[in-house]
Structure 1
Amino acid sequence: MSANVAAAQTKPLEGGALWLAALMLAAANFLVVLDTTIANVSVPNIAGGLAVSSSQGTYVITSYAVAEAIIVPLTGWLAARFGTVRLFVVSMLLFGLFSVLCGFANSIELLVLFRVLQGLAGGPLMPMSQTLLQQIFPKEKAGAAIGLWSMTTLVAPIMGPILGGYLCDQVGWSWIFFINAPLAITCSYFGWQMLKRFEGKLIKLPVDAVGLALLIAWVASLQLMLDEGKNLDWFSSPEIVALAIIAVIGFAAFMIWEMTASNPIVNLRVFRHRGYWASVLTISLAFGSFFGATVLTPQWLQSYMGYTATQAGYATAMSGILAVIAAPIAAQMSTKMDPRPLVFFGVMWLGGVTLFRSFGTSDMGFWQVALPLLFQGLGMPFFFVPLTGLAMASVETEEMASAAGLMSFLRTLSGAFATSLVTTSWEDKASYNRAELSGFVDATGQALQSLTQSGMSTETARGMIDQLVQSQSIMLSTNQIFWLSGLSFVIAACAIWLAPRPTKVADTGNVH
């Protein structure tokens, strides 16, 4: 990186060119973050369009997240081997190409394949956009550059559900992918034209091929097991048993290999720092809880509450409004005080709001759904910003890049795992609740008799009672998932106190 920095210092961008480059890099980051949330509200439309179940539709989310998580540990090696600017430009072009292929996919298998490739292309873009921003900006303006980058990271999750909902309702789900192409082409063209002179000397570093293969094997096996478990009746299926065995053996082999390899793809030695592993435990539990609930909300609203994709998008996006407002305050406070109370407050706030949401009813109006999500956003920056700083302050300076990559990998992976667990549990609990309620609803037959006496046919009356039972079963199941997510937040909040009080403040400029 020193060669890149030197190049940036000898030929700096100035004035309009500097800010145009900054906007281009911020737009690239915006695009990648947008794609993590734009599909959330689109799952029912995609599932309907491809004639698959909603749980299968969530593969669109989990496949992208897992692929993105797997490529993150390779970003440093790819940047050194091919160059930061080349990696950024090629990743941007491939991201646009695979986005278009996602839009043209006519089966769930093809769509998942192209989402995996899209995730592999998009994974390096977040850290590369941030690295390049730091290279092109003079030190006195670095704060403004990172502020611009951070704002896109916060605004994109707000825009994702709104844009996804609008496009699904107005033109079709394919357009949530097609819209990436023009911006990807523009960013890659201007990125190369403006930034190619900042390319540094290439370094041929060895890659941990065995570690990478073991990583892919256990992560993919575990994710497939979670995704397919319900459809195949879990461990009564030989396929699920085989996937479980591969995941367990692969994980054990991966741990042993990475602890003994001279050039590991994932530096597990950073877990010797108590502050780091406590921070990673907190962020994995909290982000998994948050992402799982975020994926569930639009599915529930569209499938059982009568919301359009646009309405569900507006409701889901509410959580980002106060997050954007509170972010500068959280960043300022995290540099002046012990970050642990801030993290505890942020995560406990998220847990409290999620527990409040577990008392929902099937006749709630839009604002009864949206207001808790609006207030939930207040806790997000107090959870994420100081927690990142605490984790990086806990490791040695030379370990920061490895620690940041590993934390990003586990955060993204926890979101993918939580999505599978939540959607599977939601349907399982709904089936169980339906069986329980069926034994209590109209046991004497009085309701059926009353409806038939009012003029309804027996078949219509039974259909109405059945619909009521199904609606309440789903509502109970949704509340139960929110309750479990809330408890997970509470556990995550308590976990931060396992970390010691930090003795230094980390420079998190290189953290993604």
Structure 2
Amino acid sequence: MGATANPADSAAGDHNPWIIAVVVAIATFMEVLDTTIANVALRYISGGLAVGPDEAAWVVTSYLVANAIVLTASSFLAKRYGRKAFFMAAITLFTVSSILCGFAWSLESLLFFRVLQGLGGGGMAPLAQSILADSFPPEKRGQAFALYGIAIVVAPVIGPTLGGWLSDQYSWHWCFLINAPVGAVALFLIWWLVQDPKSAVEERKRLRREGVRFDIVGFILVATFLGSLEVVLDEGQRKDWFGSNLIVVFACLTVLSFVAMIPWELNHKNPVVDLRLLAKRQFGSCFLVMLATGAILIATTQFLPQLLQDYFGYTATWAGLALSPGGLVTCVMMFVIGRVSGYVQPKYLIATGATIIAFAMYELTNLYGDLNFGFFVWSRVYIGLGLPMIFLSITAASYEGITKDQTDQASALINVARNVGGSMGVSLAQNILAYRQQFHTSRLVEHVVPSEPAYQESLRTATQFFATRGASTVDAQNQAIAWIGRQVQTQSAFLAYIDVFWALAIVSACAVPLAMILKNVKRGGEAPVGGH
């Protein structure tokens, strides 16, 4: 039942490798689930912790940034200190921090625990693929990665609906507490079933013997750059940008850490980030496309539920359900594109996927107050059609021209691009929403003045309506004025969301020319299903 002739060369040891595949899929499912489960609960979180929606968005971005930061280090740390030990440490940190998130008493505590959760989750992602690769012989790895891919694509489907249902029926805290039993089971099974293959043990001994050390300076510079950039993007609009000393300080940290990172990483023998990869046309273009894709995926997963709950009266459960059909389409398309990619060059699939997503964003600009549930479902379905074309094709395109010793770095950087792009997408959308809502409100109120005939007619009609409901003349007029004010706020919000979707459409459209400059790659089989 083993994966190879010699159990010592397998991560499964004497155990059935399919059991290992299931265990790894469970751990991966739990981690990927947390990228979307909290999105529909942000309204409950902001209410429960008495913070604004823009501050609650840090719950999403802090996780993504922490996840991206540790991705750059996880491959080396796993080789240096043992894959099994590092994987167990990552699961433990993820599970414990999930419990702490569930018991968070303030936004600051929740963000701190969410960062820890992201650090644990980022350590799990690349190791899961390595464990699978070492548990199965080459001829069976495709089937194993298919199971792994199902866990990856199903988790975002379930996440919004599950998060909405838990928030509506119980509390937003359960979006995090639900990880506790799953994490405990996964930790026990990894301890019991997984072992470090002989080759990995030899690699660890070699690194120790040669005194190869972790690039701690490079890691600190990367973490400082990404963390400071996120503070600037998330807090800039609320703090009046460079009118705030806080933003100035973090902007300086962003620039200084970035400038210092380039020569350090280029001249370090074992860099935490291989910047030479990003300088290659093929890989650099794939990195930028994944940045854009991550921005659209995460931003829409957050802002569509927010829009539906705030202005269409949806519960968190129904807001989550509006996203789920698109996720189901993504599941199906993963397998379809896996077949098609054997016959079509990745650059054409990426360009097609980006075009479809740009069209989906354009559709969302047709926003008004009487839209039904089906409109939002279909907008997400279009996104679900386009995303697999990009995700699977980038895997094939990004490895073109990459040497074997660079594959770990390439995999980590593509995942970093998705998470950093997602975080930047949320920040971009949040800033556009806040700024444009202020702009549209100021323009609309120019017409809400007593001298305007349209305002007079609206006030008269609304006053009559409230008077027929039993209000006195004075109360009816006051209620009519308040109602007009709410209509102005609602309309300015719709116009601001339209601006957000226009911006995301432009971001997606920019990925098309980037895709078309990619080189042709050698085709010879199906693309891997999934990839985290």
Moved more, 280-289 or 240-249: 280-289
**Cα drift, residue 452 of structure 1:** 2.4
Matched residue, 2:386: 379
Per the alignment, in what secondary structure is the counterpart of residue 17 of structure 2? helix
Moved more, 196-205 or 389-398: 196-205
Partner Cα distance (1:257, 1:508) in 2: 34
Aligned residues of 2:392 and 2:530 also touching (Cα < 8 A): no
Matched residue, 2:106: 107
Aligned residues of 1:401 and 1:511 also touching (Cα < 8 A): no
Partner Cα distance (1:9, 1:256) in 2: 39
Aligned residues of 2:350 and 2:393 also touching (Cα < 8 A): yes
Matched residue, 2:215: 208
The residue type paired with residue 465 of structure 1 is I
Matched residue, 1:469: 488
Aligned residues of 1:95 and 1:122 also touching (Cα < 8 A): yes
Matched residue, 1:347: 354
Matched residue, 2:62: 63
Q: Percent identity at matched positions?
A: 32
Matched residue, 2:429: 422
Establish whether residue 499 from structure 1 lines up as the match of residue 510 from structure 2. no
Per the alignment, in what secondary structure is the counterpart of residue 399 of structure 2? helix
The residue type paired with residue 461 of structure 2 is S
Of 459, 474, 486, which aligns to 2:505?
486
Q: CA-to-partner distance for each residue in 1:412-462, whole Å, 9 max, x for gaps?
A: 111111111211211221121111111224623221123324425221000
| Within-5 A mapping of 1:400-419 | 400-419=407-426
**Cα drift, residue 473 of structure 1:** 0.9
**Cα drift, residue 207 of structure 1:** 0.9
**Cα drift, residue 463 of structure 1:** 0.8
| Within-5 A mapping of 1:38-437 | 38-196=37-195, 198=197, 200-201=200-201, 202=204, 203-204=207-208, 205-437=212-444
**Cα drift, residue 51 of structure 1:** 0.2
Moved more, 212-221 or 113-122: 212-221
Partner Cα distance (1:10, 1:425) in 2: 50
**Cα drift, residue 278 of structure 1:** 1.3
Are the structure 2 counterparts of residues 238 and 158 from structure 1 closer, same or farther at C-alpha, using a change threshold of 3 Å?
Answer: same
Aligned length: 508
Aligned residues of 2:167 and 2:174 also touching (Cα < 8 A): yes
Aligned residues of 1:100 and 1:178 also touching (Cα < 8 A): yes
Q: CA-to-partner distance for each residue in 1:332-370, whole Å, 9 max, x for gaps?
A: 222333111111111111111111111111111111221
Q: TM-score, normalised on structure 1?
A: 0.95
Aligned residues of 2:7 and 2:14 also touching (Cα < 8 A): no
The residue type paired with residue 112 of structure 1 is L
Matched residue, 2:463: 452
Partner Cα distance (2:290, 2:478) in 1: 51
Q: CA-to-partner distance for each residue in 1:95-152, whole Å, 9 max, x for gaps?
A: 1111000000010000000000011011121111111112112333211100000111
Unpaired runs of 5+ residues, structure 1, are: none
Partner Cα distance (2:318, 2:522) in 1: 47
Moved more, 450-459 or 293-302: 450-459
Per the alignment, in what secondary structure is the counterpart of residue 372 of structure 1? helix
Aligned residues of 2:222 and 2:261 also touching (Cα < 8 A): yes
Partner Cα distance (1:44, 1:417) in 2: 20
The residue type paired with residue 477 of structure 2 is T
Partner Cα distance (1:397, 1:386) in 2: 19
Aligned residues of 1:7 and 1:197 also touching (Cα < 8 A): no
The residue type paired with residue 483 of structure 1 is W
Moved more, 160-169 or 203-212: 203-212
The residue type paired with residue 120 of structure 1 is L
The residue type paired with residue 233 of structure 1 is D
**Cα drift, residue 469 of structure 1:** 0.9
Partner Cα distance (1:11, 1:68) in 2: 25
Q: CA-to-partner distance for each residue in 1:207-258, whole Å, 9 max, x for gaps?
A: 1111111111121111111111122111111111111111111111111211
Partner Cα distance (2:325, 2:13) in 1: 37
**Cα drift, residue 397 of structure 1:** 2.5
Aligned residues of 1:5 and 1:135 also touching (Cα < 8 A): no
Q: TM-score, normalised on structure 2?
A: 0.91
Partner Cα distance (1:294, 1:416) in 2: 12
Partner Cα distance (1:35, 1:214) in 2: 27
